[in-house]
Amino acid sequence: MQKKYIDPETVENLQEQLVKLNRTTKVAKGGRNFSFSALMAVGNKDGIIGLGYAKAKEIPDAISKATDKAKKTLIKINLQNGTIPHDITEKYCSSVVWMKPASKGTGIIAGGTIRAVLELSGVHNILTKCFGSRNHINSSKAAMKCLTSLTSCREAARLREIDMESYFD
């Protein structure tokens, strides 16, 4: 399935959130060299979300590069009444994320990195579980993969060549 990216200029109320900031150190002959990596999520809390990861020598540079990458990967996801339309499980590397729709008032039951992605995408009620590796990058990308794989009821019926009205008669 081909992803359709959204132009960030056309989206209103984009919000940014730092999901994870990491500092690495390389010890060389002249001393320690520090480097930073940032994982950023960008969304409008109304079904549009993007994720970006970047590295730089300074913190603000890493954050701005990751934000730019996240804005380039904005996608539209299918939501129904503040939750997802159906159960879904997706894998990215060795991280497996399972998501299940929840009733109104449940809230977001998720870990830190997955919670940030879900909050910015506009999901209000959901149950999630992360299996395998809990690496921040892999689990957030697995969550993004789950959200991009969601289909609406009408889309699923169209793909299966089923008449929706025959089900509701």
Structure confidence by residue, pLDDT tens digits, 145-166: 999 988 877 777 777 787 777 6
By the 8 A CB rule, do 51 and 117 touch?
Answer: yes
Over range 102-124, report the average pLDDT.
Answer: 92
What is the reported pLDDT for 166?
67
Report the alpha-carbon distance of residue 132 to residue 135 in Å, rounded.
9
Q: What confidence score (pLDDT) does residue 167 get?
A: 60
What CATH number is given for 8-75 in this structure? 3.30.160.20
- The CATH 3.30.160.20 domain(s) of the chain lie at 8-75
SS3 for 38? strand
Q: What is the β-pairing status of strands 126-132 and 88-92?
A: unpaired
The CATH class given to the 79-158 domain equals alpha beta
Question: In which residue ranges of the chain is CATH 3.30.230.10 found?
Answer: 79-158
Question: For residue 62, what pLDDT is reported?
Answer: 97
pLDDT category of residue 139 using cuts at 50, 70 and 90: very high
